[in-house]
Each structure stands twice: as structure tokens, then as C-alpha cells.
Structure 1
Amino acid sequence: MAQRRDALADAGLRLVARDGLRALTHRAVDAEAGVPSGSTSYYARGRRDLTALVVARISERLADDLDGVAIPPVLDVVGAAHIADAFLTELATRQDAQAARLAMLTELRPDDDLRVPLTSADPVRAALVATAVRLLTALGVDEADGAAVDLVGLVDALLLYRIAEVAPLDAHRVLAAYLSGLRRPA
């Protein structure tokens, strides 16, 4: 049952990433997932439930990506930038999930119940910030808690540039410059 739900949510992600939130319908998800008509309605009764299903899948995917991040107890700027850039690259491999998230953040602005889980209010986002705190602490950054929120925002902006193909950008260089500016002098 969970596999079917995940497959339907993934189909919804693909639809939103490719065609926008308006394309997210039960019939379209059924067709995209290659399941019998009406299958999606079992897991999501209405359009709002269907949107919530996709939002939840985005959070699940982020949690999966976050599980793979290993941070040693001590880091230099090069190592910290490498870890942050590798995480960014991992997030970017899930282009559909990231494109859908970016589209939904904009289109769901008036609906806090559905939009907020895609923002810092999501428990997975809190875990992401906690991971950034660990990275910055290993780097020796004072006030790592505040800087971690900024680092997550920077990674999010770099992800937007990569997914939306806004402009060519050397993410590693940007991250290294940012992290160099945070590091306390030896």
C-alpha cells in the first residue's frame, strides 16, 4: 500500500514539475502512474488531499537525502564546502521533486496549510538546519545556529539556480566564499 502511495505521489511530482500545479488531477496522476482510473482517489479523496500527498512526498525525499550526509567533527573550509556542494548536487538529482517544490511554494502562497510544510516549518527542514549547525560547528563558526539558517537559504538559492537553469554558477566557489567569511580567525 505504501509503495502504491509513493508511486502515485511520484507521478504527481512529475506532473507538477513538468506542467505546473494546475495539471495535478486525479485522472492525470492515474495516467502518469499507469494505474487504473480512479486509483488515486483511494489515497487522496479531493484535490487538496492530492496536493498534500505530493507535499508529503517532497518532505520524505528531503529526509532521505539528508540521511546520507556525514559530517566529521572537524572541518576546514574546503571540506565544509565540499560537503555542502555534494548535498546540493544530491538534491539536484531529484529534479522533479525540487521543481515541484519550487512551483508549489509560489502557487500555494495563499494556502498556509499546504505551503508551510514546504518551508522552514517542516520538521525535515529543522533537521536540515540542525545538520547545517553541525557542519558550521565542525568548521569552527561562532553562532552556528543563526548562520545555519542562512546556509540552508544559500543552498536553496543555489538549488533554484541549478534546477531552473537560471544562469551558470560555480556553487562550490560560492559556498567556499560564504563559509570562509563565517570562519573565525585562527
Structure 2
Amino acid sequence: MEWCQVRTNPERRNALLDAALEVLARDGARGLTFRAVDKEASVPAGTASNYFANRDDLLTQAGSRFYERLQPDATVAVSQLATGPKTREHVVELMKQVVSRIEAFRTGYLALLELRLEATRRPELRAVLTARVRADIDYNVTNHLASGMPGDAKSVELLYLALNWLIVDRLTLPGVFTEQQSQELITAAVLRLIEEEK
């Protein structure tokens, strides 16, 4: 019996993973099938099964793809920290940009929430997401501290926690906080979590 060879075309793989994120956001983890991904990506039936060993592989790679798509250009992000004013007000503006970028990728973030729930039942997916989220937090803390911005590692971690829940509310229950309230809460979180330089 001849085994199916896994395909390696990176553009096609990314298109399939992007389709998987859309399916996850719309239909949840239970709706994520190879057939649903093929349909969403407008490719012939059976294409996704040529790129992913199984559904677990698809879920795991979809989790990584979310972070690939969300990451801003590293040079731009580091430059904004390094060249901007070293003030809490500048941190407020940077945090507003982060929240805005995530809100603009609504389906991706909703897919990530589905993946997080699925990770409670799938140890391999949990390991991938844990490593990725931890690396993301460490990267943000390291860059923040290296930039000379006000605030310590704990303030960066607390902002991560506070803003993530604000994003969840904005994307799932947008009536809880208006856009204006959201902006005010971001400002308040930064100003309360990062002490003024003395």
C-alpha cells in the first residue's frame, strides 16, 4: 500500500491554515474538518488531507498560524519602543495599537479562543499554545525592559492579562464596553499598572 506524501507548498499550506482559522471562528472546533477547510479555501476536495497528517496536526498548525499573522513587523515594533518617548502616555498609544490590531483580526482571535478550549482536551495542542504564548509574553517583557520604557516585567504581564480580557469582551460581547470605554480602559490600565517615573 502506498502512503500519501504530505505536500510542502508553503503558500498553499498557509491558505489552508487561514481557511482553518475562518472555519474555527465561524463553526467552532467541532466544525473543523478537512472537507470544511477545503471548501473555505476553495480548493479541490482532499487537498487539506494532503497537507496535514491528521486533524490534530491541522489544529496545532492553525494555532501557530494565528501568531504568524498577528505579529507586526519585528523591526517596526522594536523601533516604536526604541525611538518613541519613554513615557506612560507612549505605552498607552502602543497598547491601543496592539488592541486595535487584534480586533482587526477578529476571526483569528475567535479561532484562537476555540483552539484554547480544544487545548484543554489535547495535550499536544496545549503544549504548542503554551510554548507560543509564553514565548510571546517573554518577548514583550524583554523588549519593553530593553527599550527603557517605564514599567517592569510584572506591569507588562498584568497589561497582557487585562487587555486580553478586554479584547475577549470586545470581540464576543461588544455591547459590554463601547469603543470609547475600551480606549479609556486601556489608558487607565497603563496609567495604573505602570508607575510614573521619578
1:165 to 169, 173, 194: 173
Alpha-carbon distance between aligned partners in 1 of 2:140 and 2:164, rounded to the nearest angstrom: 11
Deviation at 1:119, TM superposition (A): 3.9
Note if 1:100 corresponds to 2:104. Answer: no
Alpha-carbon distance between aligned partners in 1 of 2:141 and 2:50, rounded to the nearest angstrom: 35
* Structure 2 unmatched ranges of 5 or more: 1-8
RMSD over aligned Cα atoms: 2.2
Note if 1:59 corresponds to 2:67. Answer: yes
* Structure 1 unmatched ranges of 5 or more: none
State the number of aligned residues: 182
Give the 3 Å change call, closer, same or farther, for CA 8–59 of structure 1 in structure 2. same
Instruction: Quote the residue 1:146 is aligned against.
Output: 154
Give the 3 Å change call, closer, same or farther, for CA 173–119 of structure 1 in structure 2. farther
Deviation at 1:147, TM superposition (A): 1.6
For the pair shown, which has the larger CA radius of gyration, 1 or 2?
2
Instruction: Quote the residue 1:89 is aligned against.
Output: 100
Instruction: Quote the residue 2:6 is aligned against.
Output: none
Alpha-carbon distance between aligned partners in 2 of 1:101 and 1:129, rounded to the nearest angstrom: 22
TM-score (norm 1): 0.86
Give the 3 Å change call, closer, same or farther, for CA 36–22 of structure 1 in structure 2. same
- Report matched runs for 1:10-21 at 5 Å: 10-21=18-29
Instruction: Quote the residue 2:139 is aligned against.
Output: 127
TM-score (norm 2): 0.81
Give identity over the alignment, percent: 25
Note if 1:177 corresponds to 2:188. Answer: yes
Give the 3 Å change call, closer, same or farther, for CA 55–185 of structure 1 in structure 2. closer
Give the 3 Å change call, closer, same or farther, for CA 165–62 of structure 1 in structure 2. same
Give the 3 Å change call, closer, same or farther, for CA 32–130 of structure 1 in structure 2. same
Give the 3 Å change call, closer, same or farther, for CA 105–65 of structure 1 in structure 2. farther
Q: Could you tell me whether the CA contact under 8 Å between 1:59 and 1:118 is conserved in 2?
A: no
Q: Could you tell me whether the CA contact under 8 Å between 2:70 and 2:101 is conserved in 1?
A: no
Give the 3 Å change call, closer, same or farther, for CA 125–145 of structure 1 in structure 2. closer
Give the 3 Å change call, closer, same or farther, for CA 30–121 of structure 1 in structure 2. closer
Deviation at 1:165, TM superposition (A): 2.5
Instruction: Quote the residue 1:42 is aligned against.
Output: 50
Deviation at 1:78, TM superposition (A): 2.5
